[in-house]
Amino acid sequence: MTSLVVAAGSAYAFDIFEPEATNPSSAAGGAQAAIAESVSLQTALTADLDDAQAVLKSPDGKAAAKSARRALSTAIEDAERVVTSLKSVTTSPSDTEAEATALLEASDALADDVPAVTAALREATGAVVASGRQARLARAVSGLEKARDALKTAVVEGEQVHANSAADAVGRDALRAALDDAGDLTAQADKLIARAAEVQTAADTQTAAETQADASPAATAQARTAQAGSAEAGAASEASADVLSDAGRLTKALTEATAGIKEAAAAVSAETADDAAEAEADTTDPGADDTGTDPGDGTGTADHPETAPAGTCPEPDQVWSAENGHLSSSELAQIPFASGHYVRSDVVGALAELNAAYAAEFGVNMTINSSYRTYAEQEALYDPSSKTAAPPGCSNHGTGLAIDIGGGVAAFGSAQYDWLKANAEAYGWVHPPFAEPSGRNPEPWHWQSVKAPNSY
């Protein structure tokens, strides 16, 4: 783009403009008006230039695509040339009719250039903001997803450690609390990831609308300024900033929670290993009491069974079945609100309805920490010294009809637990007698379908 630069008196001297016969007083008056208009245009364009240069140095500008940054740099150079030309439109010392006429003609030419230059500058500025914000949001969401997935993995591993630990293990309660808190954090992450997608869509729509408006030659400088600072644009920018801030905060919280679970699980595992070593030492000590095991077959006594023989379970409210832990994929369905967790396909619909009611009440989905367990998974979790997990073949988790719920549900007397107690049965899910506070194995987190074959 070629910009017109007119120094005081030089246009006439170099015959760029030929003086026209005109009324001297009229030319002088017009020149004064042209000077005022030039100052106004210069002020407005300078403000846009300042904004554009600030955007290039901002986090959005640094994250924007190189092509968008180059386009904005070019637009800034064009605008700077026009500002220089506007500054040259001044009164001449001699204030002659010829110079006044030349100034009027230069001012008219610049007045035609400024709208196009301003529109190009604003369009390029908006493109850099949109490109950079999209890149920053994408990076933030990617980091958030990785932190969430790492926490979910830590929860699965932590649940196994918790299930295999003794009820009186030091650190077990701390591990339980960390696992429960993780459920709320992962739910928050899921909501924020969905929110980020909504904000990005809204920002893209707003940017497209602004670009179209700014590109219109018919738009006046005043209208474009009002449009650029519109409430819609401000709201979209504020929403994006909020999501970026929340994503950073939540990613940090997820990472810290993952570290906390791993630390607590390691402490419990170390104590469990020490206890196991002590128990082994006791059984090999000639002077030790060996009534806890039967040296004849190594299967354990009735009080401490190593596993449940086919067809039997140690508790009267447990029922062994050959199908337990061996369900086919066609018999199972993934829980819609808990990726990676499965229950029997004929109960998943009612569970989803229960969750919808729960989410309407508390604003988040239920946190599922455990669901269907294969026979191999039951074997890995089972610890004869703990009542937390039933022997393989005896657990309702192996039937696909039981779930463990985290978050506030995992505490007796919490608002979430009390709500489920009052409402879950209407959807076909109950808290079994064995898991009640007065039951043989109090577990506020264990819930199961009314179709479960037993009360475990």
Domain segments of the chain as ranges: 10-269, 314-449
Among 7, 131, 25, 15, residue whose Cα is nearest residue 70:
131
**Amino acid identity for residue 208 in this structure:** A
Q: Which contiguous run of DSSP H or E holds residue 369?
A: strand 368-370
**Amino acid identity for residue 313 in this structure:** C
- % of residues, the chain, pLDDT over 90: 25
pLDDT (0 to 100) of residue 91: 53
pLDDT (0 to 100) of residue 156: 85
Query: Where residue 450 falls among pLDDT bands split at 50, 70, 90?
Result: very high
Alpha-carbon gap, residue 308 to 94, rounded angstroms? 111
CATH number given to 314-449:
3.30.1380.10
Q: What is the DSSP string of 278-309?
A: HHHHHHH-TTS--TTS-TTTSS--SSS-SSPP
Do the beta carbons of residue 415 and residue 408 sit within 8 Å? yes
Looking up tokens 């030790």 gives: 288
Instruction: Check pLDDT > 70 for residue 208.
Output: no
| Two structure tokens written together for 192 | 């924020």
pLDDT (0 to 100) of residue 66: 92
Using only C-alpha atoms, the chain has a radius of gyration, in whole angstroms, of: 37
Q: What is the mean pLDDT of residues 146-174?
A: 84
| Two structure tokens written together for 379 | 């074997």
Do the beta carbons of residue 112 and residue 43 sit within 8 Å? no
Alpha-carbon gap, residue 381 to 455, rounded angstroms? 19
pLDDT (0 to 100) of residue 53: 93
Q: State the sign of the Cα–Cα–Cα–Cα dihedral 92, 97, 103, 104.
A: positive
pLDDT (0 to 100) of residue 336: 92
pLDDT (0 to 100) of residue 425: 95
Alpha-carbon gap, residue 333 to 341, rounded angstroms? 8
pLDDT (0 to 100) of residue 379: 86
Q: What is the mean pLDDT of the chain?
A: 76
Query: Where residue 43 falls among pLDDT bands split at 50, 70, 90?
Result: confident
Q: What is the mean pLDDT of residues 433-456?
A: 86
| Two structure tokens written together for 355 | 């969750």
Among 194, 199, 209, 202, residue whose Cα is nearest residue 241:
199
Lowest mean pLDDT, pick from 42-46, 249-253, 281-285, 332-336 = 281-285
pLDDT (0 to 100) of residue 41: 79
Looking from the CA of 56 toward its CB, the CA atoms found within 13 Å total: 20
Q: Going by C-beta distance under 8 Å and a sequence separation of 6 or more, which residues neighbour residue 360?
A: none
Query: Where residue 119 falls among pLDDT bands split at 50, 70, 90?
Result: very high
Do the beta carbons of residue 79 and residue 48 sit within 8 Å? yes
pLDDT (0 to 100) of residue 347: 95
Among 174, 190, 161, 170, residue whose Cα is nearest residue 370:
161
Among 190, 181, 158, residue whose Cα is nearest residue 339:
190
Instruction: Check pLDDT > 60 for residue 334.
Output: yes
Lowest mean pLDDT, pick from 6-10, 83-87, 172-176, 311-315 = 6-10
DSSP 8-state code for residue 330: G
**Amino acid identity for residue 359 in this structure:** A
Query: Where residue 421 falls among pLDDT bands split at 50, 70, 90?
Result: very high
pLDDT (0 to 100) of residue 172: 86
131-134's contacts with Cβ under 8 Å and 24+ in sequence apart are 131/60, 131/63, 131/64, 131/65, 131/68, 132/58, 132/59, 132/60, 132/61, 132/62, 132/63, 132/64, 132/68, 133/60, 133/63, 133/203, 133/240, 134/200, 134/203, 134/204
Q: What is the mean pLDDT of residues 255-275?
A: 82
Q: Going by C-beta distance under 8 Å and a sequence separation of 6 or more, which residues neighbour residue 406?
A: 155, 179, 180, 182, 183, 184, 367, 368, 369, 445
Bridge partners, residue 448, by sequence: 402, 430
Instruction: Check pLDDT > 60 for residue 299.
Output: no
